[in-house]
Structure 1
Amino acid sequence: MYTSAPFFAVLFASSLLFTAANRLLGNRLTYASLFSAFALFAVWGYVFKSQITIPILMFGYLYTIATLKDKTWLKTWQSVILSLLPLILVKLHLNNHWGMLGLSFMTFRAVDVLLYRNKKDSRNFFQYFSYLFLPFIILAGPMYRWRSWVQDISKPNFRLTTAVFLQSMEQIFYGIVQKFLFAMLIDNFIISHWSHRPVTLTVWVVMSLAYSFYLYFDFAGYSNMAIGAGRLFGLNLPANFNLPLLAKNPQDFWRRFHISLSEWLRDVVFMPIYMNLMKIDFFRNHKVTAQNIGIFCTLFCMGAWNGLELNYVVSGALFGGISVIHNMILWLAKRSPRMTSWLQKPLIVLTGRVLTLASAAVSLYIFSGMSPV
């Protein structure tokens, strides 16, 4: 969507048109009416115009599961598994007929609804429909949580001020520069020339750095355009990147890189695993082991949810393994004042930063599928 000039024309025209109509009607149009109409026409009329059947079936399927869970005919864990089932089958290439644009993040939002919505929100058909098919974030996030969505659309009416419009334009323009200038330059002048060379250490270093910067500018640019577009309609979409080059360690890196998905996986994967392991006597006496299992599974999902192709599995395992090593170092340091003092030395801190970024770059290069691994 964000590579299409007509999409931006429709986006700006829609926000201005709705604002004008709202003022003519005395500010009586609600957020619910806005997003129901916008999701219907912008997504199903523009994004899915050539494949409308699968999105309709997917919505019906997910809404049915949510309804059955509300009626307590399905337990929460059963409803979550059933909601994830189409995505799992597509990622395993067992049923490609269910594949559609934005399936991953739409499924994640459906799971977020099952886990975190209140009873009073559960039967609002239009809220649920609009949340699943919100056009700004349908393809690749950011991961917009149900609670934030309900809070945003619970405002009494819709108003677009000049200040908000200019802030939105600024963030969209910033995203355009990131995605269509920096990312494109890296792709055209480095990646396209080095990706076909015989594999050597130099190629690994250059491609790891180049792809990491490319992915950052491309994805951060997309995220900024999505966040800016959401602001045009009064939505507070979460930040997705916060200068990952400044990361001190692997834990800090995932607090800065793809933040919204990292936080969602922490809540949906890490916390349930850790809390359930703590019910077992062995893990109550070995909390760091429970932490490491939860950390590895969470970061493994960061790579492997894209599919079980070797590049995703290996990169996910690297994400998890590196983070577990860092957690073990912290655990050992807590028990050794001498080690704590040693880790605080400027040279060691700098080395930690370099190793963090180097390991992230190698992992992301493997994730890209362009590496020989």
Structure 2
Amino acid sequence: MYSSGTFFFFLFSSALLFALINRVLRYQLTYLFAFSVLTAAAWGYLFQDDFIVPVAVFFSFYIIVTLKDRGWLKTWQAVSLTLLPLLLVKLHLNNHWGMIGLSFMTFRAIDVLLYRTKKDGQNFLHYFCYLFMPFIILAGPMYRWRTWINDINKPVFRITREQFLLAMEQIFTGIIQKFLLAMLIDNLIIQSWAHRPFTLSVGIVMSLAYSAYLYFDFAGYSNMAIGAGRLFGLTIPANFNMPFLAKNPQDFWRRFHISLSEWLRDVVFMPIYMNLMKLNFFRQNKTLAQNIGIFCTLFCMGAWNGLERHYVISGALFGAISVAHNMLQWSAKRSPVLNVWLHYPTIAFLGRILTLASAAASLYIFSGMSPL
């Protein structure tokens, strides 16, 4: 429902409707008013069968951030309490807290805890719209609090022709990716191969097919969300940048699910690395501190979806592959022969193939359709 063509059709239509009304009213509508109405309407559409859970989750998050702002909770305590509902759901200890978009809503609530300043104020509607914005409520992109505040504080709600054309181009790109290419891959390959007994050929076909499906499905959703945001003048960040052109694992995560990768870098890698660097042992072994931070960050990339075996294994593979690449770079800096060898065109090309093959295998495990 929330990622269907119908949902996005109403989302796009609402942007155009607001633009028309605003033009009639001589641009008197503010961003906050427009988003408050849109978010309230989306809330009614998405949670029409059960209002209790989203209301309870939202007010628990709002109380936590208020207590933190008043100094009654430390940041780590507020973050831990905010993560608690998501952890309980992922551990299957309290499925009653499960709801559409809980993961990314939790991440946005944490972003507020970490990055909201006194200058931003404590506007209730700012917080409500940021957590439940319909463009990104399900699966991102990870729209940061600082960007939201800059967007929402624009003086007038207005769509220029350039914004409209750029937004529609991105929306149509997303429609083709999600509702044509992803559906074709799913219908023609995945559904027919998924039930076959596992062999090497099945593993190769499924790895390639599922990786392509995930890319087109998720990139399509992201492009439609970004396009819808642009119709409202929002700068929702890009989420994919042709990951099939990645040179190495590090480059792959700069191109694949970019917004979440960058957010995890800021809230997982940097705190771990900076705290380890306070210890004498790690100041003398910086690469080890980097590897611990890299592994934890990419492990979270897989494991935050749940602690089922396929998520844990895929997250561990994401981390192990990136750590292995980091160690190869570390060795190349200390060995001129290895450094020259790695820059040979043939070796560089094989590195690209190995990067994509390892990513495809990891994502196939992530899908839950592999025997692992």
Does TM, scored on the shorter chain, surpass 0.5?
yes
Aligned match of 1:215: 214
Aligned mates of 2:273, 2:50 — CA distance in 1: 40
Preserved contact between residue 142 and residue 260 of structure 1 (Cα < 8 Å):
yes
Code of the residue aligned with 1:145 in structure 2: it is: R
- 1:275 maps to a residue whose letter is M
- The amino acid across from 2:125 in the alignment is F
Aligned partners of 2:15 and 2:228 also within 8 Å: no
**What is aligned with 2:32?**
32
- What is the one-letter code of the residue matched to 1:253? F
Q: Which runs of 5+ in 1 are unaligned?
A: none
Specify the SS of the correspondent of 1:135. coil
Partners of 1:144 and 1:86 lie apart in 2 by 21
The AA in structure 1 aligned to 2:206 is M
Using the TM superposition, give the Cα deviation of residue 2 of structure 1 relative to its aligned residue in structure 2, in angstroms. Answer: 5.7
Shift of 1:13: 3.0
- Name the residue aligned to 2:75: 76
TM-score after normalising by structure 2: 0.98
Tell me how far apart the structure 1 counterparts of residues 189 and 315 of structure 2 sit (CA, whole Å). 25
1:196-254: CA deviations, max 9, x gaps?
Answer: 11111111111101100010001000100100111111111110000111100000000
Does residue 157 of the first structure (1) align with residue 156 of the second (2)? yes
Q: What's the offset of the Cα at 1:162?
A: 2.6
Match of 1:279 in 2: 278
3-state SS of paired residue (1:136): coil
Alignment RMSD (CA, Å) = 1.1
SS of equivalent to 2:359: helix
Deviation at 1:164, TM superposition (A): 1.7
Aligned ranges 1:322-337 → 2 under 5 Å: 322-337=321-336
State how far apart, in whole Å, the 2-side matches of 1:122 and 1:275 are: 29
The Cα of 1:19 is off from its aligned counterpart by 1.7
Deviates more, 1:309-318 or 1:170-179: 170-179
What is residue 311 of structure 1 aligned with on the other side?
310
Range 296-305 or range 169-178, more displaced: 169-178
Q: Tell me if 1:12 matches 2:9.
A: no
TM-score normalised by length of structure 1: 0.98
Query: What is the distance in 2 between the residues matched to 1:56 and 1:112?
Result: 20
Aligned to 1:51: 50
Q: What's the counterpart of residue 64 of structure 1?
A: 63
Deviation at 1:153, TM superposition (A): 1.1
Matched with 2:173 is 174
Q: How far is 1:173 from its partner? A: 1.1
Q: Is the 8 A contact 1:2 1:222 kept in 2?
A: no
Q: Is the 8 A contact 1:315 1:367 kept in 2?
A: yes
Once superposed, which parts of structure 1, at least 4 consecutive aligned residues long, lie more than 6 Å away? none
**Superposition deviation, residue 3 in structure 1:** 4.5
Does structure 1 conserve the Cα–Cα contact (< 8 Å) formed by 2:2 and 2:46?
Answer: no
SS of alignment partner, residue 79 of structure 1: helix
Which residue does the alignment assign to 1:347? 346
1:185 aligned residue: 184
Contact 1:70 1:122 in 2 (8 A): no
CA–CA distance in structure 1, aligned partners of residues 219 and 25 of structure 2 = 38
Structure 1 distance, partners of 2:44, 2:3, is 17
Q: Which secondary structure state, in structure 1, belongs to the residue aligned with residue 49 of structure 2? A: coil
Aligned AA for 2:199?
Answer: T
Deviations 1:277-326 (A, max 9, x none): 00011000000000000000000000000011000000000000000000
- Which whole-Å CA distance do the structure 1 matches of 2:330 and 2:6 have between them? 53
Equivalences for residues 141-152 of structure 1 within 5 A: 141-152=140-151
Identity %: 72
- The DSSP-based 3-state class of the residue aligned with 1:223 is helix
Amino acid at match of 2:24: L
* Counterpart-to-counterpart distance in 2, 1:361 and 1:281: 39
Give a deviation string over 1:103-135, Cα, whole Å, max 9, x none.
000000000000011112241111011000000
Per the alignment, in what secondary structure is the counterpart of residue 81 of structure 2?
helix
Partner of 1:293: 292
Q: Secondary structure at the match of 2:369?
A: coil
Q: Is the 8 A contact 2:141 2:260 kept in 1?
A: yes
CA deviations 1:40-82 (Å, max 9, x no partner) are: 112x111111111111111100000000000000000110000
> How has the CA–CA distance of structure 1 residues 5 and 197 changed in structure 2, closer, same or farther, with 3 Å as cutoff?
closer
Q: Deviations over 1:2-57 (max 9, x none)?
A: 65344234223322222222223332211111111111112x11111111111111
In 2: Cα distance, 1:223 partner to 1:67 partner: 31
**How many residues in Structure 1 have an aligned counterpart in Structure 2?**
372
Distance 1:299 1:232, change over 3 A: same
* C-alpha contact (below 8 Å) 2:2/2:138 kept by paired residues: no
Secondary structure of residue in 2 paired with 1:142: coil
Superposed counterparts of 1:196-215, under 5 Å: 196-215=195-214
Q: Bigger CA drift: 44-53 or 320-329?
A: 44-53
SS of aligned partner of 2:197: coil
Q: How far apart in 2 are the matches of 1:238 and 1:39?
A: 19
How many Å separate the matches in 2 of 1:180 and 1:163? 25
